[in-house]
Chains A and B, each alone.
Chain A
């Protein structure tokens, strides 16, 4: 579930330049925005539409928003690192009759971050463009996105053999990786009801959503010094929609976890003002791609908070998650994976690499009795003040 990713992503980095994106992504935040945007039509997300691949790997330019989101927990000779890349497409209500090459009909935004423990905090970069031939473009036929001038080019491309090739060239860092789905999970994992994923009470508040968990990642990165080989497991989400969020949510907690046994778990909750869960869901994916719904109440229980020295925001960076099927403890790779964008947007959130222990493997003093069982990404939004603009 990457709503919050987009929400936070867009707020974090693009508000200064492209605050409309918020409106485009999350019209629910402000009814009046929604009212204005409703004048321009977007296709509705309806149940029962069958996702067809590889076509649905490509972009769906008529829908309002769409994203390809890849996270990975990786090992290198320097130790474990976290990696995150998002490509985000947004169709604006503007310029539809404008023949100018600069008509702002489609925007492409991208964000990339590395979590390297020895750096103590995230290294990240972002780009935003309007659709521009060969500089900021996407394919409608398969996952194939390009953004940036040649000096700073970012790419995500799915090959014929169903591998994702991702290369990022930013000022402070660069990486090239390939992500290969495991042999037992060759088909995309359709979230929700065969890819129709409800996001709120209204019928239209939904998205088309599929995931590629347990991706086998190989590649290299360079942050300072030499190129270093990296390998590990990753997770890719692809989701598109025209309308998503309810109004009363103040923040979200989301995890996408790859277990060592080949299974995977996605869980999220949407929090209200009072901190209570407005809506939550979890989905277990077995090592051979079978889906299992959780059968009990979903519970996120904060175990440890980290207070940001920069923003004083208090994040539950360590969580206990109970889905009914599983009871786990989530611990961050490093505490400070906060993205602070007060300088530009004023929005702050936490998005980081985590590892997971079974609760039963941890004794009362907190001592871990066994090795972790899973790795993945946790996202915490809405902890540093009001998220609304």
Chain B
């Protein structure tokens, strides 16, 4: 074969242009490292979540739970009677409010209460170990009424050890528990508390109730049939129980965070895509420069296959080197991210986890391959171009050649655009907007392909206008662009692609932020918001406390709400049910309704009206007017029917929320407790003073949070910005990579036109004038690229806003234009591009004219 020849050519290519090739390698590395880094952080976080969940679940085969947070413990007796049950372990799972001594603030600690005897069979890792140094002896502690066992991490975080007292505020009274040992079976970073289930039912307000029953059924028992039989029993609450596989929680988490994770990965791949464009630009230029050499070699006998192979091998080498570097950088990035900010990249799904880095070989291989493929794709067009080279012709003409593809770029671009438009009609696949992502890719390529015909069209239009008469140099620049617009394509492709994507992201994020801001204004009409965490099975604010709150002077109006989690589909995370005052005649006053209200003529009077959030409507496919069944506790034997009265905007609860009128909820569930209050102040009232008064009234409540509407708004927007920090960072990288592209292409371009510049010098044009000419050209090109990129980006942003977001997250938003941001980004790109071009032009125009004309041979 001709490997020796190819090697020689490749090395000569490297010797001539190390900088652009290095830049191409780096661009690929950047894309690979970002994609891999983000993917690794997400995988690690998900694994950590899985570990934590399985630690809490133990090895149960099934979990019997209710639609609400609890089930009646009579259900356990029922379960125990079944001949098919091998093990049944009752558990209470709750968060207890405590003081975080390290950070000196109230916090909560997950607590599992269990029967050690039964748990030994299904969750041995959760068994407590009494401390031997304990006064009274280790062995006496496990069943003790006030014993609580803290895992090593919990002891560390709370600065507590065996023998210390832990006051826990439960439903307005303080329960003093004694730290009596640890939980040796859980991992060193799992913060968890264990108690005896009998003691917990009594002391923590769970008498008669359980969170779940961990089950093992006999072999060959059909879980569905078994559950159906259980449901037919007349035990209270048996009707609403469900049987889940323990991994359903991981599945839920995975489902819930998947859209977010995929979005981030797609963003990271944008950098890789841009990298591919840079490889294309670099190789295209390199090929152009190699044409004379190659022509000679070809005339001497090297055929077209050798030429094709040369470029492909070059691109593969670039891809492999870039990917390898990218993998190293990606692992380092993931490691650093996990160490610095933990496993949560802003989505809030894995908040406060510090997972260990996991390195699945499949991810490494995938991103390596993606890097190589991107580089090869970048090299494909130059390779084909070179294959089609007619050496004799090239030798004679002594200059580069424009190779026409069989289909005009304009045509291809149109086809791609239409394909993208069609893809947009497709629905989400498995909760992921895959078609929309493909549509974005189509439109992006369509936008990029059309750029050189567009440039030609504009240049030709300008050359006919009188605009160019002002300056001969400008005219020359325009004329050159008019005649050789396809030469500008490599440089422009990267600019258009990266700027389009930056624009699209910026527009989407900005629209989202403004929408969130408006939404916050709508949902926070009151001045103060009081929230008491639910610790038992009922809300923390009882009638007495409510009355005493309402009586505080300075309060104009106060509205109470009760929220609780409702599991509607075990595969999906719980929906938050919010019982609050809603004016049935005008619900828009209480909640930010989007779209239309239920028409009165459609109203089913036998049903209770509920208002579902956009995510809930998307996840469960509920439309206004639909009647739905909710697993709410009810004394009535007939299932209660609910009708969707309206859909409201909600950015806070991604897994969905349902608002219901307090009166309806109270009537159904007999649960009159509430967990939060919205307080309107009289105009004369002093906010700080009032907060103090409320605190005094609610002294007995643990971990009470009182926030003003303004605080909540600021906090929410801070959280928003934090959650998009990674997005901003990725945008910046995309921009950076495209700057690279501009720099490398223009320095390459300037070099390859040295002969042309030499000729111009012969004609008496000064160095400065040549530089100016080149700057005109490049500024014109870059500006056009940026402008066109912005247009393409705007189109893509609409795909993100109208398709990707609703399909991934089930929320809608209005478009808002971040004009300043875009303008700044555009200017930066143009100015930096012009600077690079100037430098490059100076350098190549700097040689003597004779020299310059000669060298390129």
**A residues with CB within 8 A of B:** 15-23, 30, 32-33, 35-37, 92-95, 98-104, 128-130, 132-135, 149-152, 389
A sample of 25 inter-chain contacts (CB < 8 A) reads A16-B127, A18-B117, A19-B139, A20-B130, A20-B140, A22-B139, A23-B137, A37-B140, A94-B143, A95-B199, A95-B202, A100-B197, A100-B207, A102-B115, A102-B196, A102-B197, A104-B199, A128-B117, A129-B118, A134-B77, A134-B81, A150-B81, A150-B83, A389-B132, A389-B139
Return chain B residues, CB-CB under 8 Å to A30.
Answer: 137
CA distance A130 to B202 in the complex (A): 16
Taken residue by residue from 203 to 221, chain B's Cβ proximity to chain A (1 for < 8 Å, 0 otherwise) reads as 0000100000000001000
Known: A94-B144, A128-B117. A17 touches B127 (CB 8 A): yes
Contact across chains for A102 and B90 when beta carbons are under 8 A apart: yes
Known: A20-B140, A149-B85. A130 touches B117 (CB 8 A): yes
Contact across chains for A18 and B207 when beta carbons are under 8 A apart: no
Contact across chains for B88 and A20 when beta carbons are under 8 A apart: no
A127 CB to nearest B CB, Å:
8
Known: A16-B120, A19-B138, A21-B139. A103 touches B198 (CB 8 A): yes
B491 CB to nearest A CB, Å:
71
Contact residue among B83, B116, B132, B141 (Cβ-Cβ distance under 8 Å from A151): B83
B145 at the binding interface (Cβ < 8 Å): yes
A137 CB to nearest B CB, Å:
12
B87 at the binding interface (Cβ < 8 Å): yes
Contact across chains for A20 and B142 when beta carbons are under 8 A apart: yes
Given contacts A100-B197, A130-B117, 13 further A-B contacts (CB under 8 A): A18-B117, A19-B130, A19-B139, A20-B141, A23-B139, A33-B136, A36-B137, A95-B143, A98-B202, A104-B199, A149-B86, A150-B85, A389-B132
Contact across chains for A95 and B198 when beta carbons are under 8 A apart: yes
Contact across chains for A92 and B198 when beta carbons are under 8 A apart: no
Q: Which of B832-849 contact A (CB under 8 A)?
A: none
Return chain A residues, CB-CB under 8 Å to B429.
Answer: none
A27 CB to nearest B CB, Å:
9
Known: A17-B117, A133-B77, A149-B88. A98 touches B137 (CB 8 A): no
CA distance A151 to B87 in the complex (A): 9
Contact across chains for B117 and A20 when beta carbons are under 8 A apart: no
Q: Which residue of B lies closest to A37 (CB)?
A: B140
Contact across chains for B120 and A101 when beta carbons are under 8 A apart: no
A28 CB to nearest B CB, Å:
12
Q: Which residue of A lies closest to B87 (CB)?
A: A149
B366 at the binding interface (Cβ < 8 Å): no
B73 at the binding interface (Cβ < 8 Å): yes
Contact across chains for B86 and A152 when beta carbons are under 8 A apart: yes
Return chain B residues, CB-CB under 8 Å to A99.
Answer: 202, 207
CA distance A33 to B132 in the complex (A): 11
CA distance A329 to B830 in the complex (A): 105
A10 CB to nearest B CB, Å:
10
CA distance A12 to B199 in the complex (A): 26
Contact across chains for B138 and A129 when beta carbons are under 8 A apart: no
Q: Which residue of B lies closest to A10 (CB)?
A: B139
Contact across chains for A389 and B202 when beta carbons are under 8 A apart: no
Contact across chains for B143 and A92 when beta carbons are under 8 A apart: yes
Contact residue among A17, A32, A95 (Cβ-Cβ distance under 8 Å from B145): A95
Contact residue among A92, A98, A134 (Cβ-Cβ distance under 8 Å from B80): A134
CA distance A7 to B371 in the complex (A): 67
Known: A94-B144, A95-B145. A32 touches B117 (CB 8 A): no
Return chain A residues, CB-CB under 8 Å to B88.
Answer: 149
B170 CB to nearest A CB, Å:
15
B463 CB to nearest A CB, Å:
89
Contact across chains for B198 and A98 when beta carbons are under 8 A apart: yes
Return chain B residues, CB-CB under 8 Å to A19.
Answer: 130, 138-139, 142
Contact across chains for A151 and B201 when beta carbons are under 8 A apart: no
Taken residue by residue from 122 to 148, chain B's Cβ proximity to chain A (1 for < 8 Å, 0 otherwise) reads as 000001001010011111111111000
Contact across chains for A17 and B80 when beta carbons are under 8 A apart: no
CA distance A156 to B613 in the complex (A): 59
Contact residue among A33, A100, A101, A133 (Cβ-Cβ distance under 8 Å from B139): A33
Contact across chains for B116 and A18 when beta carbons are under 8 A apart: yes
Known: A94-B144, A98-B145. A32 touches B83 (CB 8 A): no
Q: Which residue of A lies closest to B135 (CB)?
A: A32
Return chain A residues, CB-CB under 8 Å to B116.
Answer: 17-18
CA distance A36 to B144 in the complex (A): 11
Return chain B residues, CB-CB under 8 Å to A21.
Answer: 139
Contact residue among B85, B127, B135, B139 (Cβ-Cβ distance under 8 Å from A20): B139
CA distance A102 to B213 in the complex (A): 14
Return chain B residues, CB-CB under 8 Å to A103.
Answer: 198, 202
CA distance A103 to B196 in the complex (A): 9
Return chain A residues, CB-CB under 8 Å to B145.
Answer: 94-95, 98
Return chain A residues, CB-CB under 8 Å to B83.
Answer: 150-151
Known: A20-B143, A95-B143, A149-B88. A135 touches B127 (CB 8 A): no
B787 CB to nearest A CB, Å:
72
CA distance A100 to B210 in the complex (A): 11
Return chain B residues, CB-CB under 8 Å to A149.
Answer: 80, 85-88
CA distance A276 to B791 in the complex (A): 98
Return chain B residues, CB-CB under 8 Å to A92.
Answer: 143
Q: Which of A102, A149, A150 has the most CB of B within 10 A?
A: A102
Contact across chains for A151 and B80 when beta carbons are under 8 A apart: no
Return chain A residues, CB-CB under 8 Å to B196.
Answer: 102, 104
Contact across chains for B80 and A135 when beta carbons are under 8 A apart: yes
Q: Which of B87, B88, B199 has the most CB of A within 10 A?
A: B199
A15 CB to nearest B CB, Å:
8
Contact across chains for A132 and B80 when beta carbons are under 8 A apart: yes
CA distance A102 to B80 in the complex (A): 14
CA distance A350 to B201 in the complex (A): 40
Instruction: Kindly list the 3 A-B residue pairs having the minimum CB-CB distance in the complex, ordered from nearest.
Output: A102-B198, A19-B139, A100-B201
A16 CB to nearest B CB, Å:
7
CA distance A99 to B86 in the complex (A): 27
CA distance A132 to B73 in the complex (A): 12
CA distance A150 to B138 in the complex (A): 33
B129 CB to nearest A CB, Å:
9
CA distance A148 to B202 in the complex (A): 25
CA distance A17 to B81 in the complex (A): 24
Contact residue among A16, A133, A151 (Cβ-Cβ distance under 8 Å from B86): A151
Return chain B residues, CB-CB under 8 Å to A16.
Answer: 120, 127
Contact across chains for A130 and B198 when beta carbons are under 8 A apart: yes
CA distance A21 to B139 in the complex (A): 7
CA distance A130 to B139 in the complex (A): 16
A359 CB to nearest B CB, Å:
42
Return chain A residues, CB-CB under 8 Å to B218.
Answer: 151
CA distance A18 to B139 in the complex (A): 8
Return chain B residues, CB-CB under 8 Å to A37.
Answer: 140
Q: Which residue of A lies closest to B86 (CB)?
A: A151
Return chain B residues, CB-CB under 8 Å to A93.
Answer: 140
B219 CB to nearest A CB, Å:
10
Q: Which residue of B lies closest to A33 (CB)?
A: B137
Q: Which of B740-764 contact A (CB under 8 A)?
A: none
Contact across chains for A104 and B143 when beta carbons are under 8 A apart: yes
Return chain A residues, CB-CB under 8 Å to B199.
Answer: 94-95, 98, 100, 104
A96 CB to nearest B CB, Å:
9
Q: Which residue of B lies closest to A133 (CB)?
A: B77
CA distance A129 to B89 in the complex (A): 11
Taken residue by residue from 78 to 105, chain B's Cβ proximity to chain A (1 for < 8 Å, 0 otherwise) reads as 0011111111101000000000000000
Q: Which residue of B lies closest to A96 (CB)?
A: B145
Contact across chains for B120 and A17 when beta carbons are under 8 A apart: yes
Known: A100-B198, A102-B90, A151-B86. A130 touches B144 (CB 8 A): no
CA distance A21 to B116 in the complex (A): 13
CA distance A272 to B138 in the complex (A): 24
Return chain B residues, CB-CB under 8 Å to A130.
Answer: 115, 117, 198
Q: Which residue of B lies closest to A95 (CB)?
A: B198
Q: Which residue of A lies closest to B196 (CB)?
A: A104
Q: Which residue of A lies closest to B85 (CB)?
A: A149
Q: Which residue of A lies closest to B115 (CB)?
A: A102
CA distance A102 to B141 in the complex (A): 16
Return chain A residues, CB-CB under 8 Å to B139.
Answer: 15, 19-23, 33, 389
